[in-house]
Chain A
């Protein structure tokens, strides 16, 4: 996936939506390169077990750097169907490939109304530029 194809939350998660032939939607979530760069010293990523229900705006995990801990937020309602345990154990994966191997969770969407709050890549870039100032 390229960063331009993704949607972004204010809280720096990226979201990729796939719809299967039956119309069911799955979201893949990760953390943007901007956020990973800002955290710099990632030492640990805490991800939920598959089966857990998450609600839009709710924290589903945390990323820990040397200096601080940050929550990961889901922008949608749904069920965690997969967590990237390989990346969780190897935070460098996020630095190396934030939009590929560094994905964090897959969520089966039950309510996608939260998607309207997401930004496209250009809008997200603007937010990051404002943050950087």
Chain B
């Protein structure tokens, strides 16, 4: 007998993925496409033209009401109260010990009635934990204090979300939305009208954010119109002669790894604090008090006992999550993510080592399935895109 598994959640695009030959895997309780064709092809398309990824599994939590700004400032490590309309920030959620519970994006918007609200995008695997954490800190008394009300809604199942990434992302998305995307700056968002019949007059939120190291956007729209808009994007791609491909979470992982971006459950866990992870910039310790702030203040003045590093392996075998990192045969850390990097054409990895081994250029050994492979500490990110118009 096998233990009974809870049914996997399906995004609004599930049927499309299956119909288009995606290999479906379980990811954080969701049935997600890992790839449609080849991870390398999907990765290269994202770096050279544009790709569309279903990221509807990401948790989307909305906070509104006059008390929302202060509530979030007292929950997140980053400043929230001074966000300008349409601005987005990367932030962490820490536990009382300063361990990382999640890394999130918080955005500030206004609805059509001019009412402000915040959307916090959380990792799929952390959604339930963060919802519990929110409820632990948002007592009914607090939520209903006159003049400081906070209304909290989990939008995850109501909204689909697509990542549209790559150098041609602007050209691909522009015909679909009523704002000039050239004016939408990195880490800014906008509420948009969708200029396509499939939208059924619904709008959406578009943000210039991503998890690939390329220029690109993330688009949130109602679940009911998601399949039609998804198809519309491919239709626009065909009309414009852009070679747009759907990409799965396989390429999403290799892209973010080349871009040196941490992934929760790998580089980030509750046993890691922001200073170890190199995310000091995401901690604002002198503003509102949030869980873990005092612990982080104490940690800030000590040197971290381990540091997140990037590794390049001159060999062909890729280091993977859990591989020990050695110096003179002695473990000094562990790999947290590793893959063959399709753009760089070599194995790369991220991991943690004690600080004396974290300097760029340090030669280390990784135990890859029982064999010692040389590795060199390199600067993160591994891959940085060339800005438009910049010469080589």
Residues of A within 8 A of B (CB): 40-41, 43-44, 46, 62, 64-69
Docked-complex contact B38 and A69, CB < 8 angstroms: no
What is the distance, in angstroms, from A66's C-beta to the closest C-beta of chain B?
5
Find A64's partner among B40, B43, B318 (CB 8 Å cutoff).
Answer: B318
- Given A41-B39, A66-B43, A66-B250; 17 other pairs, CB 8 A cutoff: A41-B340, A44-B316, A44-B318, A62-B369, A64-B316, A64-B340, A65-B39, A66-B39, A66-B40, A66-B254, A66-B340, A66-B342, A67-B250, A67-B339, A68-B320, A69-B318, A69-B320
Within the assembled complex, what's the spacing in Å between the Cα atoms of A62 and B320?
Answer: 14
Q: Does B317 contact A (CB under 8 A)?
A: yes
When chains A and B are docked, how far (Å) is the Cα of A79 from the Cα of B250?
37
CA distance A64 to B254 in the complex (A): 15
Lowest 9 A-B CB distances belong to which pairs? A44-B316, A43-B340, A66-B39, A41-B39, A41-B40, A40-B38, A41-B38, A66-B340, A67-B250
Q: Could you tell me the distance between the alpha carbons of A40 and B43 in the complex, rounded to whole angstroms?
A: 13
Interface size class on chain B is 10 to 19
What chain B residues lie within 8 Å of A68 (beta carbons)?
Answer: 320
- Contact call A69/B369, Cβ cutoff below 8 A: yes
A-B contact pairs, 7 of them (CB 8 A): A44-B316, A44-B317, A46-B316, A64-B317, A64-B340, A66-B339, A69-B318
Separation of A65 and B39 alpha carbons in the complex (Å): 10
Q: Produce 1/0 per residue, B329-343, CB < 8 A to A.
A: 000000000011010
Give Cα A68 to B340, complex, Å.
10
B94 within 8 A of A: no
A103 to B91, CA, bound (A): 51
Q: Does B188 contact A (CB under 8 A)?
A: no
Q: In the complex the two chains form, what is the Cα distance from A36 to B298 in whole Å? A: 52
Q: Which residues of A contact B43 (CB under 8 A)?
A: 66
CB proximity of B309 to chain A, nearest CB, Å = 21
CB contact between A43 and one of B35, B250, B316, B369 (< 8 Å): that residue? B316
B35 touches A40 (CB 8 A): yes
Q: Is B34 part of the contact surface with A, judged by Cβ < 8 Å?
A: yes
Among A64, A67, A68, max chain B CB count under 10 A is at: A67
- Give the chain B neighbours of A43 by CB distance below 8 A: 316, 318, 340
CB distance from B7 to the nearest CB of A (A): 17
Q: How far is the CA of A70 from the CA of B356 in the complex (A)?
A: 34
* A129–B40 alpha-carbon span in the complex (Å): 26
**B342: nearest chain-A partner, CB-CB:** A66
Closest to B250 in A: A67
Task: Name which residue of chain A comes closest to B254, CB basis.
Answer: A66
How far, in Å, is A45 (CB) from chain B's closest CB? 9
Contacts of A65 in B (CB 8 A): 39
Residues of chain B lying within 8 A (CB to CB) of residue A64: 316-318, 340
A44 contacts B340, C-beta separation under 8 Å: yes
